[in-house]
Structure 1
Amino acid sequence: MGRLEAIRIFTRVAETRNFSKTAEVMDMPRGTVSRIIQTLEGQVGVRLLTRSTRQVNLTDAGKMYYERCKKILEELSMVESELSNIKSVPSGTIRVGTTGTIAEALVMPNLDEFLREFPDIDVRVGIADRNICLVQEGLDCVIRAGALEESSLVARRVGNARLVTCASPTYLEKYGVPESIEDLESHVAVNYISAKSGKLFPFEFERDGEIAKVELRGRVAVDEGIAYVNAAVRGLGIIQPSRYIVADLLQSGQLREIFPTFRIPTIPISIVYPHRSHISSATRAFTNWITGICVRNDDLSAQPTQQTRSTSRGGALVAVGDFAHSEQHSKID
């Protein structure tokens, strides 16, 4: 194996702090990763890493070597990206991360269109309703809903999702149809809770330019989007998801919209990737395609909410590795 590939493996170990994770991401045996690092240390003449049973850390020399190697690899990646973008037909494999609800409602139903348009691009979709680090997961981009904090990463807004308050016909027959926000006090919700903090997210409505938060009582609470919607279909309470997620259920009558004339905050949909100058032709094609999907969907091309959304529901950001995203319920992602 050449020195350049050894450097790639070293930088990945430095970023993941784990030999096994690096081996998994780079699809090679753990022992091979360890031997390559040992050989590299022999070639440079200093110890680059300290090992423990749980974690790998950089030595002082390793930190300096990592920073220099990272710059070399970034320059090489930029050149390769520029050469790739010269191609008339985008090609390669793109690794996309997202949540279950976005995958189920947005990506997978339309993916055959992308594959027909770009026959030389393969797509790998990783689904996780949790914090994701692009570097550690080996991803080219991540699709997320909600406000994103400033970071060294690049976020491209591809759409704004409308929210909808809805419930099943069975529920509404039992409890009646609320006609005002105040009427919600006598109703039951399927509540959404943060998988990380256990915090319950309230319903939100725009009223007189402000966002009104309403906490509904409920006997059922979930921390995953698909289960959240299914609970409402079964009549367990009112929910407030992104409308594109439940559009088919609203059309079929399995769910009915409540407060159709009320103004409800929107949720930004973004694609996040490491460096704008290093985007491959395949990643750029995928990003443009997702943007087009959103533009053609009325539920995803809404005007953004002018009022900043409350941190209790849409603005609490969690930084993990090189990726930060909002701690959102799957009502909106």
Structure 2
Amino acid sequence: MMLSVLPQTFVTVVETGSITRAAEDMNLAKSAVSQNLKRLETQLDVKLAVRTTRRLSLTPAGKRYYQKCKELIALSRLAQTEMEAFGARPSGPITITAPHALIATVIAPAIALVRRQFPHLTPQVIADDKRLDLVAEGIDVSLTVGDLPDSSLKARRVGALRDVLCVAPELLDAAPSADDPAFMEWAQSLPYIAHVREPENLEHILQSQEGGNPIRLCFKTSFRSNTVEAIAALAREGLGVALLPDIGVVEDLRAKRLVPLFSKHTLEPTPVYALHAYEKLQPGSVRATIKAIETILASAVAWR
């Protein structure tokens, strides 16, 4: 399913941004790359790009054609990687995506574990809090936190995270005693630092660690960010309360740069899933990576 030379030339030009860089990547003369583009446009009978001395801009048809070619490349790679399941020792590229907060704490140590077993694997990591299209982006394994959307992807639960409502310790200096009924009202009056996926008005239910009644908290968003790291940074500055995964801010919690808003109540764990797009022929590299992620999550040291 590999692309022929003309579409491959077009994809390389688009992704490198110029005919000169594409020629270098493909080890071709610039004139050959330029002629390939002209021949492709002649074959398709459509203008794909407008080329000047300084830049290349895709036409609407060119953007559509590029996306389709990119999907074909991803499908071709998927088919090639599936062949590992017939007995080949895992090697070559494997692409993994995960939220920013789990790269250092889960993905990096998992990759180190896999590479010790299979040193010829060449992992590529994409840190993104959005849920990406695995097939279109050529992704082998996606680590996803929380409920799964309906899809044809294969999912395996590999662990769980426990979110913590965190604040900078100096915010608690002006708080009523935790045993005072006024503490609940005070806590809910704090500015809330939300992830972009959280709603403007939200509710958290915390379970008692001592067998008491759960507590229900309502917050109104004051700040937003798209990464856990940015949310944690805002919280460390004393700008409000934030819901953060303990594994993502474990060092802040240990060093008391952040502290739990409620020390005797916790939220229910949030499931973590490993997703992939392979059918029955799951490659060995994918199986080994998912197993390593599961191992790292199981052995993660709690901050308490």
TM over 0.5, shorter chain: yes
The offset of 1:286, in angstroms, is 0.8
Equivalent of residue 5 in structure 1, options 2, 19, 24: 2
Unaligned 5+ segments in structure 2 are 24-31, 49-57
Q: Tell me the secondary structure at the aligned position of residue 250 of structure 2.
A: helix
Aligned 8 A contact 1:115 1:121 in 2: yes
Q: Normalising to structure 1: TM-score of the pair?
A: 0.64
Q: Which residue of 2 aligns with 1:323?
A: none
Tell me the amino acid that sits aligned with residue 269 of structure 2.
Answer: T
Q: Deviations over 1:280-314 (max 9, x none)?
A: 221221111001111223659xxxxxxxxxxxxxx
CA contact (8 A) 2:167 2:235 kept: yes
| Deviation at residue 168 of structure 1 after TM alignment | 2.1
1:203–1:240 Cα contact (<8 Å) kept: no
The CA RMSD measured in Å over matched residues stands at: 4.4
Amino acid at match of 1:161: L
Matches within 5 A, 1:182-331: 183-187=183-187, 188-194=190-196, 199-200=199-200, 202-206=202-206, 212=216, 214-216=218-220, 218=222, 220-297=223-300
Q: How does 1:161-172 map to 2 (within 5 A)?
A: 161-172=161-172
User: How big is each residue's C-alpha offset from its partner over 1:249-292, in whole Å with a ceiling of 9 and x where there is no partner?
Assistant: 22222222232332412211112111233432212211110011
SS of residue in 2 equivalent to 1:215: strand
Q: Once the 2 structures are TM-superposed, how far is the Cα of residue 94 of structure 1 from its aligned partner?
A: 1.0
1:192 Cα deviation from its structure 2 partner: 0.5
Unaligned runs of 5+ in 1: 13-17, 64-68, 301-333
Aligned residue runs from structure 1 range 80-159, under 5 A: 80-83=83-86, 86-87=87-88, 89-108=89-108, 111-159=111-159
Q: How far apart, CA to CA, are the structure 2 residues paired with 1:235 and 1:227?
A: 13
- Output the amino acid matched with 1:54: P
CA distance in 1, matches of 2:128, 2:142: 11
1:319 corresponding residue in structure 2? none
Partners of 1:34 and 1:204 lie apart in 2 by 61
Partner of 1:311: none
Please state whether the residue corresponding to 1:239 is helix, strand or coil. Answer: strand
Rg larger in structure: 2
2:98 maps to amino acid = T
| Number of aligned residues | 273
Is the Cα contact below 8 Å between 1:190 and 1:232 reproduced in 2?
A: no
For residues 266 and 9 of structure 1, the distance between their equivalents in structure 2, rounded to whole angstroms, comes to 51
The normalised TM-score by structure 2 is: 0.70
Q: Distance in 2 between matches of 1:114 and 1:75?
A: 20
Could you list the per-position Cα deviations for residues 118-140 of structure 1 after superposition, in whole angstroms to 9, with x for gaps in the alignment?
32212111112334222332221
Q: For 1:78 and 1:292, locate their aligned partners in 2 and report how far apart those are by CA, in whole Å.
A: 23
Q: Deviation string for 1:15-55 (max 9, x for gaps)? A: xxx9579746xxx949969948966996xxxx699968134
- Supply the distance in 2 between the matched residues of 1:133 and 1:5 (Cα, whole angstroms): 20
Deviation at 1:151, TM superposition (A): 1.0
> Does 2:174 match 1:174?
yes
1:217 Cα deviation after fit: 6.5
How far apart, in 2, do the equivalents of 1:292 and 1:8 lie? 43
Compared CA separation, residues 76 and 294, structure 1 to 2 (3 A): closer
What's the CA shift for 1:161?
Answer: 0.9
Determine what percentage of the aligned residue pairs are the same residue. 18
**TM superposition shift of 1:162:** 1.0
**Change over 3 Å in CA distance of 1:19–1:77 after alignment to 2:** closer
Q: 3-state DSSP class of the match of 2:244? A: coil
Question: Using the alignment, how far apart are the partners of 2:136 and 2:164 within structure 1?
Answer: 35
